[in-house]
Amino acid sequence: MIIRKRLAAALCGALLVTLTGGLVPAAAFADSGDDPADGQAAKQPPKVQLVLDVSGSMRARDIDGQSRMSAAKQAFNEVLDAVPEEVRLGIRTLGADYPGKDRKQGCKDTRQLYPVGELDRTEAKTAVATLTPTGWTPIGPALLGAADDLEGGGSATRRIVLITDGEDTCAPLDPCEVAREIAAKGINITIDTLGLVPNAKMRAQLMCIAEATGGTYTSVQHKDELSDRVSQLVDRAAEPVVTPVATQGTDRCEAAPRLKPGLYADREAIGQHRWYRVDLLPGQELRASVSIAADRAVNRDYGVLLRASTLSGREIVRGEAAGDGRTDVISTGLRHSKPEIEEADADDVGDAEPAAETVCLRVSNSFSSPASAADKTAPGLPVELTLDVVDGPRDAGDVAFLGLGQGWWLIGLLTVAGFAAGLLWGWISRWRVAVWRTN
């Protein structure tokens, strides 16, 4: 009996494999994308260097009733507990050791507190706990040192996160120029800056540093904001990075840049509209998304609108989202398909190329500035626009047997295979019963 059961199961299995043509194993192998050659090149782990200001001004007690240094230490402890395993993290200080008045000496006061590498959380926390607000604010030299700390590692993601409560005190070495020099080296280091209780001059300097390398600037007034933001930036380093292409939207579609599929970066002032254009051929589908980052203090309630329209102004589709201050980035997206040309129309067109449709994309935002930062509107908020053009849902490449879309034909084939296997199993069962009665 056992042998007969195994024979029946084998026959059913063979029939199912025959009917499906071995599609499931083949698809699984194709989707896996496994290639022995790919495993030979080990992916380099992302690197992050936290640069902490330990200058004398960090003694000020204006962050949730405690000193800026205490708030920074508590935030660091929380961040260190949550660092992803694949991230190689280091810590560099500025103004932590020299208490004197010799400016030349004070502007050399930067050192690597914890080397960039696999993280020993206890050791890193112990090193941070020993820090005491001491000296000057040599931001430029600290950035140069941090860039040296991150050298090597091929194409690995490299990020510097600068936390400070004041502008650089070591001019003429301008930290903004230092950031530009780092960017010019082409070593793909992004610098993000966080300003603790910033003033206008400090905010301008930190924004300039961040913009020079494609990073972000964040104003911090509370300890929770500091720990949340640093954690976000460390986590971001672990994600794949695609460098956006700089573009500049316009105030009307007719003069807007004509964009191809890809990732684009722009700046948009608070309450501004920015226009872009995309060409869409018959049978294609446009997929677009936009993200706007609040890289400065803004009021808590805000929104973003991505609107697609024709050149004449007729709205096609829109995507919108609202935020309440819980995150520093807000995103939305949309999809629009252009129908294929009918066969009769195609005969009229002949051999001529089908006409492309110009889709106008408008990005709008409803951010607003608090009274304390109403004068800080330039440069605009960072905008990332992602565009993709794919074959539409009714394109010949997406239509399968009998007009069914991709995926349906496989479901139908498996259904037929299951029905046939059921019939075969029923026939085998009846045959077994007949043999048993004969014996």
Question: Where are the domains positioned within the chain?
Answer: 47-237, 245-396
Mean pLDDT of the chain: 81
Contact 296, 211 (CB under 8 A): no
CATH of domain 47-237: 3.40.50.410
- Show Cβ contacts of residue 257 under 8 Å, excluding neighbours closer than 6 positions: 247, 248, 249, 250, 276, 277
- The tens digit of pLDDT for each residue in 380-390 reads 888 999 999 98
Residue 15 clears pLDDT 90, i.e. is over it: no
Closest to 164 in 3D by CA, of 112, 201, 117: 201
Token pair for 345: 């129309």
Contact 333, 405 (CB under 8 A): no
Contact 291, 390 (CB under 8 A): no
Closest to 82 in 3D by CA, of 281, 239, 228: 228
DSSP secondary-structure letter at 331? E
Three-class SS state of 83: coil
Contact 271, 298 (CB under 8 A): no
Q: Looking at per-residue confidence, does 268 or 369 come out higher?
A: 268
Instruction: Work out the pLDDT band at 242, boundaries 50, 70, 90.
Output: low
- Low-confidence winner among 24-33, 149-158, 354-363 (lowest mean pLDDT): 24-33
- Which pLDDT does position 361 carry in this prediction? 97
pLDDT average, residue stretch 197-215: 87
Residue 432 clears pLDDT 60, i.e. is over it: yes
Contact 381, 267 (CB under 8 A): yes
Report the alpha-carbon distance of residue 306 to residue 129 in Å, rounded. Answer: 46
- Which pLDDT does position 310 carry in this prediction? 94
pLDDT average, residue stretch 341-363: 70
Residue 289's H or E segment, with its range, is strand 284-293
- Which pLDDT does position 408 carry in this prediction? 58
- Low-confidence winner among 70-79, 217-226, 309-318 (lowest mean pLDDT): 217-226
- Which pLDDT does position 392 carry in this prediction? 74
Residue 29 clears pLDDT 60, i.e. is over it: no
Q: Looking at per-residue confidence, does 94 or 221 come out higher?
A: 94
- Which pLDDT does position 388 carry in this prediction? 93
User: Which CATH number is correct for 245-396, 2.60.120.380, 2.40.50.140, 3.30.365.10, 3.90.550.10?
Assistant: 2.60.120.380
- Which pLDDT does position 377 carry in this prediction? 63
Peptide bond into 240 cis (omega under 30): no
- The tens digit of pLDDT for each residue in 152-172 reads 766 678 999 999 998 898 878
Residue 406 clears pLDDT 70, i.e. is over it: no
- The tens digit of pLDDT for each residue in 304-344 reads 999 999 999 999 999 999 988 766 778 999 999 888 765 54
Q: Looking at per-residue confidence, does 350 or 248 come out higher?
A: 248
Point out which residues pair with 307 in neighbouring strands: 318, 362
